[in-house]
Amino acid sequence: MSTDAPSRPVTIITGGSRGIGAAIAERLAEDGHDLFLTYRDRALDAAAVAERCRELGARVELFRAELADLDQAALVVPAAIAAFGTVTGLVNNAGITGRIGPFLEAPIEETDLVFRINVLAPIVLTRAAIAHMSTALGGAGGAIVNISSGAATNGSAHTYIPYAMSKAALNALTTGAAKEFAAEGVRVNTVSPGTTFTEIHAAAGRPNAPQERAARIPMGRAGYPHEIAGAVAYLLSEDASYTTGADIRIAGGN
Ligand X SMILES: NC(=O)c1ccc[n+]([C@@H]2O[C@H](COP(=O)([O-])OP(=O)(O)OC[C@H]3O[C@@H](n4cnc5c(N)ncnc54)[C@H](OP(=O)(O)O)[C@@H]3O)[C@@H](O)[C@H]2O)c1
Cβ contacts of residue 41 below 8 Å, gap of 6+? Answer: none
Contact 179, 129 (CB under 8 A): no
Is 139 one of the binding residues for ligand X (CB under 6 A)? no
Q: Compute the least distance from the CB of residue 21 to ligand X, in Å.
A: 5
Among 20, 106, 143, 236, binds ligand X (CB under 6 A): 20
Long-range contacts of 48-55 (CB under 8 A, 24+ apart): 49/16, 49/17, 49/18, 49/22, 49/25, 52/26, 53/25, 53/26, 53/28, 53/29, 54/29
Segment contacting ligand X (CB under 6 A): 102-110, 122-130, 153-161, 190-198? 190-198
Q: Which is nearer to ligand X, 182 or 202 (CB)?
A: 202
Nearer to ligand X, 137 or 220 (CB): 220
Catalytic residue among 163, 224, 234, 242: 163
Question: Are 237 and 189 within 8 A, CB to CB?
Answer: no
CB 59 within 8 A of CB 35: yes
**Residue 242 is among the residues annotated as catalytic for this protein:** no
Q: Which is nearer to ligand X, 139 or 194 (CB)?
A: 194
CA-based R_g, the chain, Å: 17
Q: Give the phi and the psi of residue 210 in degrees, each rounded to 5.
A: -60, -40
Q: Which residue's CB is nearer to ligand X, number 88 or number 196?
A: 196
Does residue 122 interact with ligand X by CB under 6 A? no
Active site residues: 163
Interface with ligand X (CB under 6 A): 15, 17-21, 39-42, 45, 65-68, 93-96, 117, 147, 149, 193, 195-196, 198-200, 203
